[in-house]
Structure 1
Amino acid sequence: MDWRTVALGLVSPAWACSKGGANAGHTIYNAEGKKFVFQLVPSGILNEETLCVIGNGVVVHLPGLFKEIEGLESNGVSCNGRILVSDRAHLLFDFHQVVDGLREAELVNSLIGTTKRGIGPCYSSKVIRNGIKVCDLRRMDTFGQKLDILLRDAASRFEGFEYTADILNKEVERYKRFAERLEPLIADTVQVINDSILQKKKILVEGSQATMLDIDFGTYPFVTSSNPSAGGICTGLGIAPKNLGDLIGVVKAYTTRIGCGPFPTEILGKDGDLLRVAGMEFGATSGHPRRCGWLDIVALNYSCQINGFSSLNLSKLDVLSEFPEIKLGISYRQTDGKKLTSFPADLCLLEQAQASSLEHYSYLLSHLEVDYEVLPGWNTDISSIRNYNDLPLAARRYVERIEQLVGVPIHFIGIGPGRDAIICK
């Protein structure tokens, strides 16, 4: 259920990240076909005319950010003067990553499946109001006291967490250097974004994660720690709802998920493996293989409802070309025959029980059955096609059936990883 929400608003040349952290990667190919993987830096940095903004809703790991910038610079991508970091964004420290691993270890047989990048613990610090913001780097006289509170709290909570005064002092000195380096990038990005809106510039808001991983609307607790649905655009950047333009939902032609959690339309066995390999479904950040399944129309309808998409971008249609027939999961039924009219909050209805040890995951539907609609495949390579009417009839019927089921038009169709591998419908 890896759906990314991209909001086309009123900005330009500006490209803004609103939520999440370095727990999700976006793989982008530039005009020359060179591959880049982005985690904290907005992928718009590849466009030399853009100003890239890391918004207040993002949790920022400074060592990771600087490493990413250095990697871009070494590959000929100039970042100088083109990246701004919100003074309201929260800092993610190395110890947050340690805590993430310790929390996951405590869960034993109920793993969330986090990337252990410290995202959840950092948002926890933010919510319980002892977090440290980017603007705090400008007051190093009190920075050590605030960091001491965070570290002592972690040490008191986890028996295996190492903390000494020497560790604190070294970390403070390290962040003094980071503060000097980051200073030219720090800005009141709420003002920057809203000034850009008043000037009628174009803004592309880039969101990590996906609606079904939203902390409020996703498959809790198997979710991320922020709101990657459309509402996160407003809270993560300080954009008023009235200023949002068209919302384009990006959805794969099939469904994927990394880590644990319910996945009603998952394909197990050789067909799932075929889909994974054909779609190169391995996490850009973790490298972990994604779980793959048929397109879940129930979850897609739910996502469209929450976000109010004006259109969809159906990506990776070419990946389905090897299947003689393709399924759409069009509705859910409980094992007692009762049909579910919406996406349920209760995971007991969705849950796929783990039937074996941690070394061997075997998921069996326990409370839910999926009604499938079977469509014929097209069994031909479509990656070179650029005109919708040139697609095989079966491919067009698949696209149009999705439109009928969700009531949202599909305006763009991805048929490969290249920048030009897209069909405008």
Structure 2
Amino acid sequence: MKKNIVILGTQWGDEGKGKIVDYLSRNSDYVVRYHGGHNAGHTLVVNQKKIVLHLVPSGVLHANVIGIISNGVVISLSNLVEEIKMLEENRFFVKKRLFISNSASLILPFHIAIDIAREKKLGSNSIGTTGRGIGPAYEDKIARRSIRVGDLRNEKTLSIKLEKIVDYYNNQLVSIYQSQPFDYKIILQDLLKSKNVINDMIKDTTMILNSAIKNKKIIIFEGAQGSLLDIDHGTYPYVTSSNSTIGGVITGTGIGPKNLDYILGVTKCYSTRVGNGPFPTELHDDIDMYLSKKGNEFGSTTGRKRRTGWLDAVALRHSVKINSLSALCITKLDVFDNLKEVKICIAYQDIKTSEIYTSASFDELENMKPIYKKYPGWMKKTLGIKKIENLPIAAKNYIKSIEKIAGIPIDIISTGPDRNDTIIIKHPFL
């Protein structure tokens, strides 16, 4: 039996990872968020009730699961406290089974202010961030000046560090962006209030995880965003500020690579992305409107309409390679139920040279147009189907085509938003 599995996105995020983590968590002991911040939103539907999580690991909706927010995550304490409160209001009590790394860096109000100011100044050249302060918080981490969760335990030291970093950002906000400065004392008091809520949750999570591995506990590592938004391997500079590919698990938790038994890549049967950046298969027609409405393609964090396009197999193969994926999970198959024809981008053509590429550098995507292979639609309901043999023949053929193009097996298919709208072909823990 496999003990430790990673679930990550293969596209530009929003693949439906949260549902899959939630579904598989019933068989696990721990679920771990290893990177990103509250710019990621995982939408779960349990008994027709929608729960949106941004920082708390998706698996905590199961009462047997311990959730861990590890050192690779940047944390907005105010948002985390609100999320815990929201869960309690929905009868999910997590305070005694949620642990937060003492090494995780904090997102503070000036990070958000500088994020928004920079995007505004860039205008049409903006990255398209969520404005949540994620990038500036990671900058501070790399520059070795960030306030970390462990700093909350010493008010005197925290006050000194906070005053220094607030001065640093106030100089930028006032002189460069003509924005209002912050009073570090107000931020300090807000931090101390939040600290009172999470104090007992602050732990050395690396030690907890390595102990769990030694004791053969079952662990799911939950990715946020998607591989094509990775700071090193994505469509730079239109990326997130952390490693959303497999390497982020190791650095973001402190567990070794030999401890990973299985890596599941989650892929929508079409493509979407939020924000700016190249998107070869992007649609601007009636299919775009259909996918947006039928697939509810609006950001769970921002509410922004996602850009939509056909499945990009060139990008998918890139994700398979850089993550050493064991298998795929295909989500939102039911969104295609009313389409007479569906497509997969199998290669790119350079619009300048007409050269064909089955793989391409992400630095050159702006010059690429998609080459499609067409497939007949099934025009039948797949919503809620739980067995592969019950899928329409055309839907099964489409799934087999993705499997062949990607070069790895498809172990799971999602046929709807509810956790039970799932086909398990091969269980990841077996």
Q: TM-score, with normalisation over the residues of structure 2?
A: 0.91
Preserved contact between residue 61 and residue 92 of structure 1 (Cα < 8 Å): yes
Q: Could you tell me how far 1:175 is from its partner in structure 2?
A: 1.9
Q: What residue in structure 1 maps to residue 405 of structure 2?
A: 405
Q: What residue in structure 2 maps to residue 151 of structure 1?
A: 166
Residue identity matched to 2:263: L
2:359 matched to 1:342? Answer: yes
Q: Could you tell me how far 1:176 is from its partner in structure 2?
A: 2.4
Q: What residue in structure 1 maps to residue 375 of structure 2?
A: 375
Q: What residue in structure 2 maps to residue 322 of structure 1?
A: 338
Distance 2:356 2:207 in 1: 48
Q: What residue in structure 2 maps to residue 40 of structure 1?
A: 55
Preserved contact between residue 25 and residue 38 of structure 1 (Cα < 8 Å): yes
Cα shift readout 1:38-84 (whole Å, capped 9, x = no counterpart)? 00111111000011100000001001000110111011111131110
Residue identity matched to 1:219: T
2:141 matched to 1:126? Answer: yes
Distance 2:121 2:281 in 1: 29
2:301 matched to 1:285? Answer: yes
Q: What residue in structure 2 maps to residue 220 of structure 1?
A: 236
Q: Could you tell me how far 1:178 is from its partner in structure 2?
A: 2.5
Q: How does 1:266-277 map to 2 (within 5 A)?
A: 266-277=282-293
Residue identity matched to 1:249: G
Preserved contact between residue 329 and residue 371 of structure 1 (Cα < 8 Å): yes
Q: What residue in structure 2 maps to residue 235 of structure 1?
A: 251
Preserved contact between residue 262 and residue 350 of structure 1 (Cα < 8 Å): yes
Name whichever of 176-185 and 320-329 sits farther off. Answer: 176-185
2:53 matched to 1:53? Answer: no
Q: Could you tell me how far 1:179 is from its partner in structure 2?
A: 2.5
Q: Could you tell me how far 1:397 is from its partner in structure 2?
A: 0.9
Q: What residue in structure 2 maps to residue 393 of structure 1?
A: 393
2:223 matched to 1:207? Answer: yes
Q: How does 1:181-196 map to 2 (within 5 A)?
A: 181-196=197-212
Cα shift readout 1:389-419 (whole Å, capped 9, x = no counterpart)? 2211111111101111111111111111111
Residue identity matched to 2:355: K
Q: Could you tell me how far 1:345 is from its partner in structure 2?
A: 3.1
Q: Could you tell me how far 1:339 is from its partner in structure 2?
A: 2.2
**Aligned with residue 71 of structure 1, among 86, 101, 124:** 86
Distance 1:368 1:105 in 2: 29
Distance 2:347 2:228 in 1: 17
Cα shift readout 1:168-212 (whole Å, capped 9, x = no counterpart)? 122222222223332101000000000000000001111110000
Q: Secondary structure at the match of 1:158?
A: helix
Q: Could you tell me how far 1:163 is from its partner in structure 2?
A: 2.4
Residue identity matched to 2:377: G
Q: Between Structure 1 and Structure 2, how many residues are aligned?
A: 404
RMSD of the TM alignment (CA)? 1.7
Q: Could you tell me how far 1:94 is from its partner in structure 2?
A: 1.4
Residue identity matched to 2:369: E
Q: Could you tell me how far 1:12 is from its partner in structure 2?
A: 4.0
Q: Could you tell me how far 1:108 is from its partner in structure 2?
A: 0.9
Preserved contact between residue 228 and residue 239 of structure 2 (Cα < 8 Å): yes
Q: What residue in structure 2 maps to residue 170 of structure 1?
A: 186
Residue identity matched to 2:412: F
Q: Secondary structure at the match of 2:337?
A: helix
Q: What residue in structure 2 maps to residue 2 of structure 1?
A: 12
Which runs of 5 or more residues in structure 2 are unaligned?
1-10, 426-430
Distance 1:142 1:384 in 2: 54
Give identity over the alignment, percent.
40
Preserved contact between residue 81 and residue 194 of structure 2 (Cα < 8 Å): no
Q: Secondary structure at the match of 1:394?
A: helix
Q: Could you tell me how far 1:341 is from its partner in structure 2?
A: 4.4
Q: How does 1:6-21 map to 2 (within 5 A)?
A: 12-21=28-37
Distance 1:182 1:80, change over 3 A: closer
Q: Could you tell me how far 1:340 is from its partner in structure 2?
A: 2.6
2:127 matched to 1:112? Answer: yes
Q: Secondary structure at the match of 1:28?
A: strand
**Aligned with residue 62 of structure 1, among 59, 77, 93:** 77
Q: Could you tell me how far 1:384 is from its partner in structure 2?
A: 3.7
Preserved contact between residue 154 and residue 161 of structure 1 (Cα < 8 Å): no
Q: What residue in structure 2 maps to residue 259 of structure 1?
A: 275
Distance 2:270 2:34 in 1: 26
Q: Secondary structure at the match of 2:63?
A: coil
Q: Secondary structure at the match of 1:332?
A: strand
Q: Could you tell me how far 1:131 is from its partner in structure 2?
A: 0.7
Cα shift readout 1:79-101 (whole Å, capped 9, x = no counterpart)? 13111000000011111111110
**Aligned with residue 25 of structure 1, among 20, 36, 41:** 41
Preserved contact between residue 274 and residue 305 of structure 2 (Cα < 8 Å): yes
Distance 1:419 1:174 in 2: 36
Distance 1:284 1:153, change over 3 A: same
Q: Secondary structure at the match of 1:322?
A: coil
Distance 1:403 1:413 in 2: 12
Distance 2:137 2:423 in 1: 40
Q: Could you tell me how far 1:36 is from its partner in structure 2?
A: 0.3
Distance 2:154 2:168 in 1: 22
Distance 1:386 1:131 in 2: 47
Cα shift readout 1:147-174 (whole Å, capped 9, x = no counterpart)? 122222212223323226xx11222222
Q: Could you tell me how far 1:33 is from its partner in structure 2?
A: 2.6
Cα shift readout 1:116-137 (whole Å, capped 9, x = no counterpart)? 0100010011111111111111
Q: Could you tell me how far 1:267 is from its partner in structure 2?
A: 1.1
Q: Secondary structure at the match of 1:191?
A: helix
Distance 2:55 2:218 in 1: 21
